[in-house]
Amino acid sequence: MLNNINKKERTGAPPIHKMNPICKFICLLLFTFCTLFSTWYLLAFLFLFVLWSMLFSKISLSTYFKMLYVLRLLFLLLVLVFLFMQVPFILICLYLVRIVILCLSVFVFTLTTPITEMTYTYEIFLFPLSKIHLSPSKIAIKLALYSQFIPSFINKKKELLYTVSSLGIDYNHSSRKGKLFVFKSIIGPLFSLSRKECHRVEESMKLRNFEIGKVRTNYQMNTWHILDIVFIIIHGIMIVLTVSEVFL
């Protein structure tokens, strides 16, 4: 009965949401390799591919760009470091493009994969750590929870800005100095609320008998389909093109 209910709930979801999480993570790793070592021509194709994936996910593009906007200070810091190291401007642009493409690909994986499937995938790939007496389950659940930090960060920022607006401070129409003052006042509560949200999810998983290190039954685990094979083939072709362009 549970399987039938879950199938009904997932019927209207886009195909990329129904892909096997292990397949998506393998594709993410292959895509990361291609992004780091590809030339400008292949990099343009990778950007078009990740843009198509974003559209294919049926998630608003504004959601992805808002998640990028949260990382703007990190981008600015990287630019300053590159300038301090006297890196040529063209190379700085190339590095930033690679980082943006990587971030977008990670966002696609995060937003289209349920946290339980994400945890299971991380456990599979981190299993070798058990040979050195580290717990793959603990690391996997932490990674899965922290991957939800940016979406939670955006939602909490909206809530805090609405609260500030109710106090008579219009953030959207304030001057730069006024926006900076508001941002400085909410940055502390913002991180605190986002961290509490992650802890709340962790506690709710414990209440549902989610025990670290125990074998679990996941009724919503997606199986391999034709789309998974197609994605693996596409990323395999990307790997071949990258290796042939860079290393041969």
**Are 152 and 202 found together in one domain?**
yes
Percent of the chain with pLDDT over 90: 21
Residue 100 — very low, low, confident or very high, per pLDDT cuts 50/70/90? very high
Average pLDDT value for the chain: 77
Is residue 5 included in any domain, yes or no? no
Q: What kind and span of H or E run contains 110?
A: helix 89-112
Structural domain that includes position 81: 19-135+222-248
**Are 120 and 175 found together in one domain?**
no
Is residue 4 included in any domain, yes or no? no
**Are 126 and 236 found together in one domain?**
yes
pLDDT tens-digit readout, 48-69: 999 999 999 888 888 888 888 8
Whole-number Å distance between alpha carbons of 232 and 39: 21
User: What tokens appear for 66 in the block?
Assistant: 């808002």
Nearest CA to 32 out of 219, 238, 195 is that of 238
Is residue 2 included in any domain, yes or no? no
Report CA Rg, the chain: 21
147: Cβ–Cβ under 8 A, 6 or more apart, which residues? Answer: 106, 110, 118
pLDDT for res 68: 86
**Are 38 and 81 found together in one domain?**
yes
Side chain identity at residue 52, one-letter code? W
Is residue 1 included in any domain, yes or no? no
Whole-number Å distance between alpha carbons of 11 and 117: 18
Is residue 236 included in any domain, yes or no? yes
Residue 54 and residue 61 in contact, taking contact as beta carbons nearer than 8 Å: yes
User: Higher confidence at residue 38 or residue 156?
Assistant: 38
Residue 105 — very low, low, confident or very high, per pLDDT cuts 50/70/90? very high
Q: If you average pLDDT over residues 13-38, what whole number do you get?
A: 90
pLDDT tens-digit readout, 185-235: 666 666 666 666 666 666 666 665 555 555 555 555 567 888 899 999 999
pLDDT beyond 50 at 39: yes
pLDDT for res 24: 93
**Are 131 and 232 found together in one domain?**
yes
Q: Give residue 77's Cα distance to chain centre.
A: 20
pLDDT for res 7: 40
pLDDT for res 164: 61
**Are 202 and 157 found together in one domain?**
yes
**Are 90 and 179 found together in one domain?**
no
Is residue 162 included in any domain, yes or no? yes
Please count the structural domains in the chain. Answer: 2
User: What tokens appear for 88 in the block?
Assistant: 């040529």
Is residue 155 included in any domain, yes or no? yes
DSSP 236: H
**Are 33 and 131 found together in one domain?**
yes
Residue 116 and residue 218 in contact, taking contact as beta carbons nearer than 8 Å: yes
pLDDT tens-digit readout, 110-120: 888 887 788 88
**Are 123 and 36 found together in one domain?**
yes
Residue 19 and residue 223 in contact, taking contact as beta carbons nearer than 8 Å: no
**Are 29 and 100 found together in one domain?**
yes
**Are 202 and 232 found together in one domain?**
no
Percent of the chain with pLDDT over 70: 64
Is residue 14 included in any domain, yes or no? no
**Are 196 and 238 found together in one domain?**
no
Max intra-chain CA distance, the chain: 63
